[in-house]
Amino acid sequence: MGDVWEEKNKFNTWLKVELAVCRAYTKLGVIPKDAMEQIEKKARFDIERINEIEKEVKHDVVAFLTSVAENVGENSRFIHIGMTSSDILDTSLALIMKQAGEKLTAKLKNLSNILKKRALEFKDTVMIGRTHGVHSEPITLGLKLAIWYEETKRNLERLKKAIEIISVGKISGVVGTYAFVNPEIEIMVCSELGLTASNASSQIIQRDRHAEFMTAMAITSSSLEKFAVEIRNLQRTEIGEVEEYFSPGQKGSSAMPHKKNPITCERISGLARIVRANAMAAMENIPLWHERDISHSSVERVIIPDSTILLDYILSLFIDIIEKLKVHPEKMIENINLSHGLIFSQPLLLQLAKKGMTREEAYKIVQENAMSTRYDNKDFKKIVLNDKRIRKILSEKEIEQCFKIDNFLKNINHIFKRVGIR
């Protein structure tokens, strides 16, 4: 991903756009064929020379064009006809962002496949579900991963749409009026480059497009942080249900040899903040003066390369985490049993209501027994079996039926089928 943003690729892309414009002019008979042959043959640049020229002219596109002209010679007069700097800058940026975006979608697809595989692997691995950080009812680790899989699919579609939105070129001159460039040139150039011609632009392609791309990356990074935070929580000593892979020879602390910390997930959490902050800067780039100023330009030189590189890196980290994630099913069962059966309060409530007790009365009775269990550290089922109010309504067999884990998991297959995991 770093190579995408290297100067060499940038200038190669600029040259690609300029040559595409020249070819379009040649097809329209504006540039003689023999001149175009010479342009194709000689058009090249030297980065050191560009930097040398830019020190004097203080304009990167002019420096680039001068370097190319020094190599092409007299036929360089046909290069950049009717164009402004933003024609080359914005069209090239679209190509480079598309290139970066396609690398990101490839990694998202890979993550999606890995999440699907591991969701199936742990489809029946029972663990406690937590709401507000407190035990609620059982789920499976596979369900948690299936939810991540579905979210990753949404992020993939979101990013694909954003790539489509940004894959737009503009060859329309200094204020977008085509005053000195034939509109057909733009259509021909964009077609050759695999872009869509902008329907309407000022001197630049409008920055809401770039903000959408940046926002799609920010949402994706936020999802990855969400997943990473969950793993961090589940790795806490008091929970201990999953943990990051800890390689042979790895050290968790300079002071405490026993430590195994979720450092990679923590790194993801930190870096995701930068991607989100960059998306905010991209939205700040949308309002510009009149047909264009360059307040957005310096920002984009930082935020777009940084965000694509960071998201690419975060994806690599998380793919490795999920592939090597260590799972402790025995600890999951141990944690489920911490509540002494309180997790079965809802099936009991529903069964009492089903047998004729009002919901309000049933809730009150079940809650009284639950609080007794919580504060006296007693077994919930034993307390329920000894409650005369409940035994008037439910038989021992009916109560036993309320205390089965399967009650919570009978529709897991339905969810997996819905998200496309088989």
- pLDDT of 21 reads 98
**CB neighbourhood size of 1 (10 A):** 18
Percent of the chain with pLDDT over 90: 96
Q: Active site residue: 59, 85, 132, 296, which one?
A: 132
Annotation: CATH topology of 2-81: Fumarase C; Chain B, domain 1 (1.10.275)
pLDDT of residue 254: 86
| Residue range(s) of every CATH 1.20.200.10 domain in the chain | 86-170+199-335
Ramachandran angles phi, psi of 418, nearest 5°: -65, -40
pLDDT averaged over every residue in the chain:
97
List pLDDT tens digits, range 265-291. Answer: 999 999 999 999 999 999 999 999 999
The pLDDT, as a whole number, for residue 373 is 93
The pLDDT > 70 percentage for the chain reads: 100
Dihedral of alpha carbons 148, 417, 157, 5, sign: positive
Domain with CATH 1.10.40.30 in the chain: 342-402
Q: Is 90 exceeded by the pLDDT of residue 253?
A: no
pLDDT at 90: 98
Average the pLDDT over 130-149 and give the result: 97
Which is it for strands 134-140 and 126-131: parallel, antiparallel or unpaired? antiparallel
What average pLDDT does range 129-146 have in this prediction?
A: 97
Mean pLDDT for the stretch of residues 287-302: 95
Question: In the predicted model, what is the mean pLDDT of residues 385-404?
Answer: 96
Whether 132 is catalytic is: yes
Q: What is the mean pLDDT of residues 110-138?
A: 97
**What's the pLDDT tens digit per position in 26-54?**
999 999 999 999 999 999 999 999 999 99
What is the arithmetic mean of pLDDT over 322-328?
98
d(CA 192, CA 93): 16
Q: Which CATH class is domain 342-402?
A: mainly alpha
pTM of the complete model: 0.94
Mean per-residue pLDDT, 343-367 = 97
Residues 65-117: pLDDT tens digits?
999 999 999 999 999 999 999 999 999 999 999 999 999 999 999 999 999 99
CATH architecture of 86-170+199-335: Up-down Bundle (1.20)
The catalytic position among 86, 112, 210, 253 is: 253
- Start-end of CATH 1.10.275.10 domains in the chain: 2-81
- Catalytic residue at 135? no
pLDDT-wise least confident of 85-89, 222-226, 256-260: 256-260
| Residue 376, pLDDT above cutoff 90 | no
3-state DSSP of the chain: CHHHHCHHHHHHHHHHHHHHHHHHHHHCCCCCHHHHHHHHHHCCCCHHHHHHHHHHHCCHHHHHHHHHHHHHHHHHHHCCCCCCHHHHHHHHHHHHHHHHHHHHHHHHHHHHHHHHHHHHHCCCCEEEEEECCEEEEEEEHHHHHHHHHHHHHHHHHHHHHHHHHHCEECCCCCCCCCCCCCHHHHHHHHHHHCCEECCCCCCCCCCHHHHHHHHHHHHHHHHHHHHHHHHHHHCCCCCCCEECCCCCCCCCCCCCCCCCCCHHHHHHHHHHHHHHHHHHHHHHCCCCCCCCCCHHHHHHHHHHHHHHHHHHHHHHHHHHHHHHCEECHHHHHHHHHHHCCHHHHHHHHHHHHHCCCCHHHHHHHHHHHHHHHHHHCCCHHHHHHCCHHHHCCCCHHHHHHHCCCHHHHCCHHHHHHHHCCC
